[in-house]
Structure 1
Amino acid sequence: MAKVVAALRHHWKKSTFGACLLGWGGHWLYGKHCDNLLRRAACQEAQTFGNQLIPATMPLKKATVFLNPAACKGKAGNLFEKNAAPILHLSGLDVTVVKTDYEGQAKKLLELMENTDLIIIAGGDGTVQEVITGLLRRADEAAFSKIPIGFIPLGKTCTLSHTLYPESTNQVQHITNATLAILKGETVPLDVLQIKGEKEQPVFAVSGLRWGSYRDAGVKVSK
């Protein structure tokens, strides 16, 4: 014991660093454990939807997810797979995930999309704007506008989530709560802003619109 005390006395800087590192590691592991508990609880709740009986002649509800993997500095894909995808698949929905490869692609895909029972946007504000614009540009937008739209906040900027879901400092909890809210059919009516130029097609938004130098500055900051 005396040797240990002597070693700590002579190497106090290393001992202090080691103690801090150990404390940080314990806190990190505890956070991971809490996140796993949140995921498990959300999956168990989702499974109650999947266990509900339906007539043999009734098809499964189709859900089309528009996922922007580039959101949140490229972390959105992993966030979706870990925190949202298991919940959706356990719910009994027939889930189709459409991953966008470049900016503006969601608009084009929405114009070509076939019938679905539910549209889910997984990304940030930019992804929301693209999907809403693509949907309302359709020739049959009156019919497609009746399809409920869910939002899973995965982007660095998710202004819309503040309107739809309670605030949470835990990202895992925020994502799982949003996904469960979609399964429960919790809806919030929103106003849609239309911006139309003289020649260009109209652009639609639900949480505001940025353009010009202000938008360019925001893009540079996010990079």
Structure 2
Amino acid sequence: KAGNLFEKNAAPILHLSGLDVTVVKTDYEGQAKKLLELMENTDLIIIAGGDGTVQEVITGLLRRADEAVFSKTPIGFIPLGKTCTLSHTLYPESTNQVQLITNATLAILKGETVQLDVLQIKGEKEQPVFAVTGLRWGSYRDAGVKVSKYWYLGPLKTKAAHFFSTFKEWPQKRQGALMYLGPTERPPEEPEEKSSRPPLYVRIYRRLRLYWSSPPKEIPQEVAPEDWEELKLSTIELTIATRNRQLDLTRTEDFMDICIEADAVSKGQFVNRGSQKMRDPHTCPEGSQCIQASRCILQLPEGTEGSFGIDNEEHEAMPVEVKLLPRKLRFFCDPSMRGPMLRAAV
């Protein structure tokens, strides 16, 4: 279905624009990640899919040896998957999927871009995984992934999934420890300047001077100790999220939002909040502990089972370090979306 939507609604616009487009269809999970790790230079990347495809592409891109240069390639996103969280940031809301696909494709051609934060999530032995939305660990996430099993209940399937999950041990607590560093000051954005290449005689003179001059003495610099905060966790759900869903281009600090929800929740509250969480997974209910951090380490007790949801994709739960990469990737967006980003409240 996704392939047909792309061929009928996005591909004709891209080809009529005069772009030289190479379409690569993925056949299995993880293929997009491998393709991006091996891809040669390109003027732009277009992702046509959902949250899972976005995560695979940015993970493959940022694992490259030349990621510092390759990550400057602008990225277009055409929402085709079941969950397309990023579309809420980049494009106006639309209940018509064909219109949303068309608007997204036209936004790529208009050329307006916005820089998005990325989370680097690294286990002790695993290669890092990258996310543009965030990480969830808890009972709401676990119940949410089972909603489709109750399809035969129609509009009651969400409440059913959360209700039946309360039959397990209650209350359902996630325990561990969290260490974190506070927000960092956002440096001013510097415009990219393309400097002209100096004449040949200047380049020769510089090389000779560098060759004959003595190496500069390295002056050791004192590194300020990092001010880590630490707290014990006992929560029904932990969320670590970027600010991309509430993008504010005027803010002066870089940070990710950490929400530690209270573990004392009644079964009725759990079922009602579960429905809210399906609409906005990163909502932070009243009574939760909210932290702004630039980096954090999540430590789990030995033998912890279960899964994380990273950009709505399932990953084994394990101790991880989560690091914010501010303004790491540039995505095409609808020009109408930049106004609210500039007027957003800090």
CA distance 1:109–1:215, shift in 2 (3 Å): farther
Match of 1:144 in 2: 70
**Cα offsets for 1:35-64 (capped at 9, x unmatched):** xxxxxxxxxxxxxxxxxxxxxxxxxxxxxx
Aligned residue runs from structure 1 range 183-198, under 5 A? 183-198=109-124
CA distance 1:78–1:112, shift in 2 (3 Å): same
Number of corresponding residues: 149
**Cα offsets for 1:109-130 (capped at 9, x unmatched):** 1101011101000000110000
In structure 2, stretches of 5+ residues that fail to align are 152-346
Root mean square deviation, CA, Å? 2.0
Structure 1 residue 171: Cα displacement: 1.0
**Quick check: which one's strand share is greater?**
2
In structure 1, stretches of 5+ residues that fail to align are 1-74
TM-score normalised to the size of structure 1?
Answer: 0.63
Aligned with residue 134 of structure 1, among 32, 57, 60: 60
Aligned with residue 87 of structure 2, among 161, 170, 183: 161
Q: Could you tell me how far apart the structure 2 residues matched to 1:156 and 1:140 are?
A: 32
Match of 2:314 in 1: none
**Quick check: which one's helix share is greater?**
1
1:113 has 2:13 as partner: no
Q: Could you tell me how far apart the structure 1 residues matched to 2:68 and 2:127 are?
A: 17
**Cα offsets for 1:121-161 (capped at 9, x unmatched):** 00001100000000000000011011000000001110000
| SS of corresponding position for 1:209 | strand
Structure 1 residue 96: Cα displacement: 0.4
Match of 2:145 in 1: 218
Runs of 4+ in 1 over 6 A off after TM superposition: none
| SS of corresponding position for 2:24 | strand
Match of 1:205 in 2: 131
Aligned residue runs from structure 1 range 75-86, under 5 A? 75-86=1-12
Q: Could you tell me how far apart the structure 2 residues matched to 1:146 and 1:194 are?
A: 17
Match of 1:100 in 2: 26
1:124 has 2:50 as partner: yes
CA distance 1:133–1:216, shift in 2 (3 Å): farther
Instruction: Indicate the percent of aligned positions where both proteins have the same amino acid.
Output: 90
| SS of corresponding position for 2:41 | coil
Q: Could you tell me how far apart the structure 2 residues matched to 1:106 and 1:94 are?
A: 20
Q: Could you tell me how far apart the structure 2 residues matched to 1:204 and 1:78 are?
A: 28
